[in-house]
Amino acid sequence: MAIFGKKSTPPPPPTEGGPDSAAGGDAFSPKKAEAFWKHASVSHESGNYEYAMQLWLNGLAWDPTNFEAVRSFLRSADAFLQENPKGKLSKETRAGLNAKGDVRRFVESLLDFGVKSTDAGAALRVTEACAKIGVKQAGTLLGQHALAMAQQENKPRKDTFVKLLDAFEKLEAYQLAAQAGEIATRLDPTDGALQNRVRNMLAKNTMSMGGFDESGEEGGFRRNIRDADKQHQLEQEDSVSKSGSVKDQIVARVEAEHNERPGDLPTLTKYAKALLDRGKPADELKAMSLLGKAYKESGQFRFRKMAGEIQVKRALKTVEKLRQQAGTDDAPPEAREKLEAAEQALHKLQLEELRLQVEHYPTDLPLKFQLGKILAAIGDHDGAIEQFQQAQDDAKIRRHVQLEMGRSFLALDGWDDAAIGTFRGGLEGIPDDSTPLGMELRYGLLRALQAKSTHDRNLEIAEEADRVAASIAMQKFNFRDVRERREQIKKLIAELKA
């Protein structure tokens, strides 16, 4: 366990080279795998998550079908991402993987997925790698994730779902294979051969569900019954929408695990997340207490961060409740006062938490963006702009950052030119300026141009403001106060021409 955040290094693991095929026999050794996993657990406990990831994978090279080891790897990867949001790994981690051939591709794709779990391509590749060497249980669950990610793509591709169909068929997950195939047929209704494959998968699923595909093996049906309880438990934990009773069962189960191993940080984290997922009145306070204890004992800031986020969430709920009370027709005057006081307290809390997080994660640019927005909300536009200028280096959020930074420049006297340049930068190269973000950037540019033309009595800038206002109104006539602003601008133009 780390002391005050300092990471200790466990004893070195075994150094034998990994297997180079998935043929079975002497190619794999659960005993050798276990030696790696013992060191992986120690490394995880010490807070050395990246090294733990490497050790889990080197163990999986010797025993790739061990589902619990895959789950343990993903827990270490999740902890690593908490401290390294960009998921950047050292060269030594990948170089230290011992496997070869198809097994090497499996552990490498699992490593990529561990640090890029929201990447649809990474999810597909690890599913295919699992199918290639027969890692059924992990491959099926990872494949479900890949299938969900593929459906969320802006432009779903037929070949992606066909690849998932192929992988699920190898994994003998026929229902998922049929589901992937059905999506592919919707994308290409003319593919008759694909439609036949889907019908074949449905038939295989019917056979598999009853255990009839193992009629020649002793206990085929009984095996399904024996595995049902374990599979049900896994499905409970992985279900997106859980009923209250299921959530109670999960909390009770994880609480028992935590009581057995109170010093095990991954189990503690799992317990806290289960409490938050259930969301009963006392659950958030219990989770905060657990996370605060973990932070005090381990010195790992990620626990402090999680506890702080719960506190902010609770404050947001309070503000929303007071906002609803103050918004009624018969609301007393003190309701508005309570709301304003709660909003001020919320902003102060958010500011404290975000400053602390930025201090501990100085390279996390989205955090700087969030800090900038809170500073702007309380009127500290100088401080907000400082954060925005750093956050705009993140290409994924650059346009959103420039929108907020332009607004802060506009809120400062004498910074109209900076606001205009910032809004223009946000609009430069934008694929579609009619999106909500595009409309807000254009509206910001309109306000900045109007302010400058009014201050400088500049006809050319006023006419440009009029053109921007007209273009917004043509797409959304009642957008904000564009109609009123355009009337003001036209009046200014008439005065300047006169």
What are the boundaries of each domain within the chain? 25-225, 247-299, 413-498
pLDDT score at 6: 35
Give the model's pLDDT for residue 171.
92
Residues of the chain predicted below pLDDT 50? 1-17, 21-26, 210-212, 214-229, 231-232, 235-236, 238-242
123-128's contacts with Cβ under 8 Å and 24+ in sequence apart are: 123/149, 123/150, 124/150, 124/160, 124/163, 124/164, 127/164, 127/167, 128/163, 128/166, 128/167
Residue 27 confidence (pLDDT): 59
What is the sign, positive or negative, of the torsion defined by CA atoms of 255, 260, 263, 264?
negative
Tell which residue, 406, 435, 399, has the closest CA to residue 420: 406
pLDDT of residue 51: 92
**Size of the chain in residues:** 498
Which pLDDT score, from 0 to 100, does residue 21 have? 43
Q: For residue 28, what pLDDT is reported?
A: 73
Q: Print burial letters for 272-295: b (CB count within 10 Å at least 16), e (below 16).
A: bebbbebeeeebbebbbebbeebb
Cα–Cα distance for residue pair 409/358, rounded to 1 Å: 23
CA distance 160 to 474: 39
Q: In the CATH hierarchy, which top-level class contains the domain 25-225? A: mainly alpha
Amino acid at 191: D
Say what the pLDDT of residue 212 is: 46
* CA separation for the pair 46, 482 (Å, rounded): 58
Q: 3-class SS at 3?
A: strand
DSSP string, 445-462: HHHHHHHHHHHHT-HHHH
Q: Are 232 and 265 in contact (CB under 8 A)?
A: no
Place of tokens 């401080």: 383
CB count within 10 Å of CB 135 equals 25
Q: At what angle do helices 333-360 and 365-377 cross, to 10 degrees?
A: 150
Output the pLDDT for position 221: 41
Question: Is 54:96 a contact under the CB 8 Å cutoff?
Answer: yes
